[in-house]
Structure 1
């Protein structure tokens, strides 16, 4: 359920700390230090041709049904043109994995994309003993020989939170999802959330971290953020639609990117699955309050992301960025750096400090000798180093 609108000042305070993210060049500061753990593209690039042939054969075995709902979409002509761009590049299929919490509109989004009710929409997450993933494959059959046969594969998933355990991450369901898509080539990940919320709460951040640890942080480099319930009629007082949307986007991007130099592009598509979504009288397309045809914008983001990544992402257990495995290759480098720092910088300064201490002790004992000679006394008895060390330990113990 959407939260009640809050004053604009409070919302602006939430997003102010993330405004500096816009200053970074997208893609230039992306972290490349843990390729195998965070990327996934490197492992996919290293797969041999035999594995690729097996994947193509498995794709042919998918239970693909004709995409009859495409003809019912008012945006069908533009969607066909965009999908044809992938077909021209030699692609036979566009595979999209949807992730997110419950009640954010993942299943409804699949039905909207296909133009037909193929996935059951639930108000609450699937239970642990039910399916965690639902795969729907549709094949284009519009009488266009260049495009016919192209497949759209959508993988719906259950909600990633576990309300029975106190609104925590359902790590068991996430592990099952990862196992279900193991070895499946994923072109785009759709991370779904609602636009009509005002914060990224701790559960959202925990889910984002769990996705990164399970699939590797590189999964975010091929992720499109889908913000549902985008037909937001009323925004918080003092804000307009565009400023509210920009603030929500900054919050989500800030939660994914983190404080360091990991800066995936994270394009955003606004979505409205409700049938009450306004329709443009000129084109007949479903539009949002900013007059943006959201279906075309979403498909464009999916096609652009798939085209930008030549090879699909494939989950393998070794790609998970476990805390015990991340950056472990840096351990010898860190040890060598510490040794070098000690030898080049720390040890010379310690030796110099020791020499200054010894010179000061010699000066003090010489001064004592002069004082005792002036009094006609015998020279002071200076203990050797071992005796001095024992005396020092005795005083320290006291």
Structure 2
């Protein structure tokens, strides 16, 4: 949820209108009592609920954005179909589905998200304290040396180490 909040704060709610949720490891077998479709649906629904909560979008606004969900599996264990395409347990070839979903999201008539340098680099609010770091390190070094000197003097005056 914190990641969703950070993405929303950085790019705005509009980013979710141009989002494609790709769930990897789609070859995993569901628990015995669930079908692949039910398992996949529950998996994506929980993430979509987290995105909705973290983005603080109203229900209607979120439903209008309709985040596309695609399942992907690229491991060597992934089975292949008759066309030698990697296929999910439900028989779907995942690479063509992914390409179609990317095309749909890219051309979905939603306003493009403008990303400028400041948005990518983040704010520079931490720069103020960065100039003090060498002074703080120097002060810490001097304090440690003073404490070590006091310990050595104490050992010399008492005549025996701890």
TM-score in same-fold range (> 0.5): yes
- Place the TM-score, normalised by the shorter chain, in its bin: 0.5 to 0.7
* 2:83 is equivalent to residue 283 of structure 1: yes
Residue in 1 aligned with 2:45? 250
TM-score for both structures, normalised by structure 2: 0.63
Between the aligned partners of 1:255 and 1:269, the Cα distance in structure 2 is 17
TM-score for both structures, normalised by structure 1: 0.27
**Which one has a larger percent strand, Structure 1 or Structure 2?**
1
Between the aligned partners of 1:310 and 1:222, the Cα distance in structure 2 is 7
**Which one has a larger percent helix, Structure 1 or Structure 2?**
2
For 2:101, what is the secondary structure of its paired residue?
A: helix
Between the aligned partners of 1:224 and 1:273, the Cα distance in structure 2 is 18
For 1:269, what is the secondary structure of its paired residue?
A: strand
The 1:309–1:284 alpha-carbon spacing in structure 2 relative to 1, beyond 3 Å, is same
Structure 1 consecutive aligned stretches of length 4 or more whose deviation exceeds 3 Å:
309-312
The answer to whether the 8 A contact 1:222-1:309 is kept is no
Return 5+ residue gaps in structure 2 as ranges. Answer: 120-162
Instruction: Count residues in correspondence.
Output: 112
Between the aligned partners of 1:309 and 1:276, the Cα distance in structure 2 is 37
**Equivalence map 1:250-269=2 (5 Å):** 250-258=45-53, 260-261=58-59, 262-263=61-62, 264-269=65-70
- Structure whose alpha-carbon radius of gyration is higher: 1
Residue in 2 aligned with 1:207? 3
The answer to whether the 8 A contact 2:74-2:86 is kept is no
For 1:218, what is the secondary structure of its paired residue?
A: helix
* 2:31 is equivalent to residue 230 of structure 1: no
Residue in 2 aligned with 1:123? none
Between the aligned partners of 1:314 and 1:212, the Cα distance in structure 2 is 14
From 3, 9, 16, the equivalent of 1:220 is 16
The 1:310–1:209 alpha-carbon spacing in structure 2 relative to 1, beyond 3 Å, is closer
Query: What's the C-alpha RMSD, in Å, of the aligned pairs?
Result: 1.8
